[in-house]
Amino acid sequence: MKMEVSRREFLQGSGSAAASLVIGFHVPLKPARAQFGGPPEPFVVDRDMVNAYLTFNSDETVSIVSAAAELGQGSLTSLPMLIAEELELALEQVRIEQAPLNESAFKNRLFGYQTTVGTSAVRWAFDPLRQLGANTRELLRNAAAVTWDIPLEETVADRGRVTHPASGRSLSYFELGETAAGMEIPTDVPLKPQSEWRILGTPFPRWDTEAKSTATANYGIDMQVEGMVVATIAATPVPGGTLRSVDPEPALSVNGVEEVVTLDDAVVVTATNYWSAKKGLDALDPQWDLGPVAARNSENIREEMLHLLDQPGNEAVNEGDIESAMQEAAQVVTATYEAPYWAHATLEPLNATADYRGDSIEFWLGTQSPGRIQSMCALTFPEVPQENIIVNNQYLGGGFGRRGDPMAPEQAALVSRQVGKPVKLIWSREEDMTHGAYRPKSVIRMEGSLDGEGRVTGFRGRIAVQSTLASLIDNPDVPFDPFATEGLIDDDYRFPALNFEYHSPRPGIPVGFYRGVGFIHNTFYRESFMDELAHAAGRDPIEFRLELAGHRERNVLLLNTLAERSNWGHPAPGNVQGVAFAYSDESTVGEVFEASVSDDGRVRLHKITCVCDVGVYMNPMMIEHQMESAITWGLTSAMYGEILIDNGATRQRNFNEYELVRISHIPEIDTVILPPTDTPGSGGECGAPPAPPALANAICAATGSRLRSMPFRIHGISFA
């Protein structure tokens, strides 16, 4: 009897205890991140795990659950392909489903909960999901061998079927399900070598492309739930403030408005539609108790940080004899750099739909971290058992580190509890921009020592930057913050002496993880400063970097490929070139920007060459897309991005005050991916950090003017 086998039923029903397999897998973590994330958690391929991931359908397709949220980076597609490769499926047999909240099956083994952050999706899943596919394939081969009473070696798994070539017999995986359900899952299955891969390493299409090209993809903001109201919110304009009072009447007289709901730190208007809710909210005049952060502004935050640069800080690294290096130097170069707060500005503003039902809460939204929403809401709503908090993930209209935040879903659930209906809460663009978890502002002073031959003998610095880590773990006293100095002290460059310290000021402005995290500003600092050192030494910037990075053959290959591919040193007449190189999250990227700059500071980019070493990659097309994406991200950050604080509140309210790079600014981007290694790096963020310094170095080559702070706009630089 053939029937659609549900995920619950497949591989269940065996009386014997299922043999389980603990798969130890190795993801290289540098010590700093390992200290933060801890060692990877185990992934056990047992029946529950196989059932959670796989449904074998009668039409010979296989539905594979993707543990990754889809925020544009393509992991929704890539993770199931790890399974499909070992399961011997053809691309067209794969159906992909978004994971429900199920920590035991789908949690990110690097972070310990269900989350898609830190360009870690493929890094955590690379071995575990291939192993799940391989073990399941061998189970199905065993089932066929038993069915036909032949040796296992005579069976072949291919395109969703097991065949016996000698007799021509063949059964689909679906047909083998019942037999397989009574058998043990093999535990010692070797993984296919890369040379035998048929899907992985090829430019397979994304699962979500068609839906996103035909407007059938559902984002959080598109949710429609029976009986729901639409709401919009004004939270305290100053972080830490509270709502003192509000007269609801002006909103209640707006057609379509249903209720005015007050929270401790916000006022919310519910209505039959968004426009009515917004008109109602705009009619209100809430009074706030603003709290101490109202005393902070961009100027006094900056002054505090500059003052800290004169004080000893927390030591991040101290290798070699830095004092001697500086004292014995032929030349010492010193410079102070800075970067502002940046907003994620996801194009879909934050939103969440919640249905609070007393003993359960159901959420619908696009989130990077369903696990964090569940655990945080369990604290906010102690009357609801944690397992009754359900998160239905949707497509994310941009994530970039912003969409792991539980604030919007918590607010939606608080409102739903008060009004007794499902609530779709949409933050206006203005609410979204003024209530960000910004990439923190930082200032840094660096010193570099050169010997008489123009070689670097020492590199040291001190940075003041709010702790991104403290924002995540809600503990301002973290012992060590790896994000403060990542990008400054990594092993991609080696210096005879290296010393860095950091300060973690607490001005009270909310900060969070922003694509590129610490790397994106620290690489701007380091790679601009390396350019200054190369100039001081009278050396070619790529040759100079080859000396610093030459301890790794892959770095040499990368930089030589970059020089050749970009025609380094030979820009077109009237053009200039700038280079930057950086490690981040187990990947290394070098970029050359070729540009022309007019006398009045107008920059035209002519070509961007990007060479990346991402280790082993799943899909070269997605790597190219992510490099293009991350470079654009870096360019918006470098040219335009700046959140300013006035009396504790964010000044910028919409895109007219927080500009984004447009198509006319972006030239041809030529991406080269180095041949794969054996271990996965990262793809989603590593292209961003080199972009700001590559652009700054090109501008300096044209104008002689060194840009030591972002955004470049404030220095009179604009796009032509």
Partner 1 sequence: MITLTVNGQTHQIDAEPDTPLLWVLRDFLGHNGAKYGCGIAYCGACTVHVDGNAVRSCIVPASAAEGSDIRTIEDLDNHPVQQAWIEHQVPQCGYCQSGMIMAAKGLLDRNPEPSDADIDAAITNVCRCGTYTRIRTAIHTAAATMREARS
Find the helix or strand (DSSP H, E) in which 583 lies: strand 576-584
Instruction: Give the N- to C-terminal CA distance of the chain in Å, as an integer.
Output: 69
Answer for the pair 404, 368: CB distance below 8 angstroms, yes or no: yes
| Spatial CA neighbour of 465 closest among 418, 500, 428 | 500
632 counts as binding partner 1 under rule CB under 8 A: yes
Q: Is 630 in the site for partner 1 (CB under 8 A)?
A: yes
195 counts as binding partner 1 under rule CB under 8 A:
no
Classify strands 54-56 and 62-66 as parallel, antiparallel or unpaired.
Answer: antiparallel
Q: Does 404 bind partner 1 (CB under 8 A)?
A: no
In whole angstroms, what is the distance from residue 180 CA to residue 171 CA? 12
Min dist CB 656 to partner 1, Å, is 6
Rounded Cα gap, residues 658 and 345, in angstroms: 9
Least distance from partner 1 to the Cβ atom of residue 232, Å: 11
From 30-38, 171-179, 201-209, 696-704, span contacting partner 1 (CB under 8 A): 201-209
- In total, the chain counts a number of residues equal to 720
Please report whether residue 417 would count as binding partner 1 according to CB under 8 A: no
The region of 30-38, 146-154, 456-464, 649-657 touching partner 1 under the rule CB under 8 A is: 649-657
Q: How far apart are CA 501 and CA 499, in angstroms?
A: 7
Report the nearest approach of partner 1 to the CB of residue 469 (Å): 25
Q: Quick one: three-class SS letters along 17-55? A: CCCCCEECCCCCCCHHHHHHHCCCCCEECCHHHHHHHEE
Of the listed pieces 214-222, 234-242, 415-423, 531-539, which binds partner 1 according to CB under 8 A?
Answer: 214-222
Does residue number 224 form part of the binding site for partner 1 (CB under 8 A)?
yes
DSSP 221: G
DSSP output for 300-334: HHHHHHHHHTTS--EEEEEES-HHHHHHT-SEEEE
Q: Choose between 428 and 504: whose C-beta lies nearer to partner 1.
A: 428
Contact assessment for residue 534 and residue 544, using Cβ atoms and an 8 Å cutoff = yes
282 binds partner 1 (CB under 8 A): no
**How many angstroms separate the CA atoms of 494 and 455, rounded?**
12
Binding window for partner 1 (CB under 8 A); candidates: 70-78, 192-200, 383-391, 529-537: 70-78
Determine, following the binding rule CB under 8 A, whether residue 428 of this chain makes contact with partner 1: yes
Which residue in 629, 637, 652, 697 binds partner 1 (CB under 8 A)?
629
Q: Does 720 bind partner 1 (CB under 8 A)?
A: no
* 194/209 with CB nearer partner 1: 209
Please state the φ and ψ torsions of residue 523, each to the nearest 5 degrees. -70, -35
Provide the pairing of β-strand 442-450 with 331-339: antiparallel
Q: Write the interaction track for partner 1 spanning residues 21-60; mark x where CB under 8 A is met and - where it is not.
A: ----------------------------------------
User: Using the rule CB under 8 A, is 227 a contact of partner 1?
Assistant: no
Write down the H helix ranges in 420-467: 429-434
CA–CA gap between residue 79 and residue 85 (Å, rounded): 10
Contacting residues for 109 by C-beta, under 8 A, at least 6 apart:
25, 40, 41, 42, 43, 124, 125, 128
Smallest gap, in angstroms, from Cβ of residue 704 to partner 1?
A: 29
Using the structure block, give the residue that is written with the tokens 């959670």. 52
Q: How far is the CB of 626 from partner 1 (least distance, A)?
A: 8
Binding partner 1 by CB under 8 A: which of 175, 348, 490, 531?
A: 348
Candidates 217, 263, 306, 333: give the one binding partner 1 (CB under 8 A): 217
Please state the φ and ψ torsions of residue 584, each to the nearest 5 degrees. Answer: -160, 140
Residue closest to 481 by CA, chosen among 529, 435, 440: 440
Contact 425, 414 (CB under 8 A): no
Q: Under the criterion CB under 8 A, does residue 287 sit at the interface with partner 1?
A: no
- Chosen residue from 129, 230, 231, 325 binding partner 1 by CB under 8 A: 230
Should residue 654 be labelled a site residue for partner 1 when binding is judged by CB under 8 A? yes
Rule CB under 8 A: choose which of 16, 215, 312, 474 binds partner 1.
215
Within residues 584-623, the interface with partner 1 by CB under 8 A covers: 621
**Whether the Cβ atoms of residue 484 and residue 467 lie closer than 8 Å to each other:** yes
Task: Identify which range of 177-185, 383-391, 458-466, 630-638 contacts partner 1 by CB under 8 A.
Answer: 630-638
How many residues bind partner 1 (CB under 8 A)? The answer is 64
The contact pattern for partner 1, residues 513-552, with x = CB under 8 A and - = no contact, is ----------------------------------------
What residues numbered 249-278 form the site for partner 1, per CB under 8 A?
255-256, 272-276
- Among 47, 107, 141, 206, which residue sits at the site for partner 1 (rule: CB under 8 A)? 206
Binding mask 308-347 for partner 1 (x = CB under 8 A): -------------------------------------xxx
CA–CA separation, 3 and 178 (whole Å): 10
Nearer to partner 1, 356 or 400 (CB): 400
Q: Is 481 in the site for partner 1 (CB under 8 A)?
A: no
State how far the Cα of 322 lies from the Cα of 557, in Å rounded to an integer. Answer: 30
Residues that bind partner 1 in the complex, under the rule CB under 8 A: 70-74, 205-206, 208-215, 217-219, 221-222, 224, 230, 255-256, 272-276, 279, 345-349, 395-400, 426, 428-429, 621, 625, 628-633, 636, 654-656, 660-664, 666, 668-669
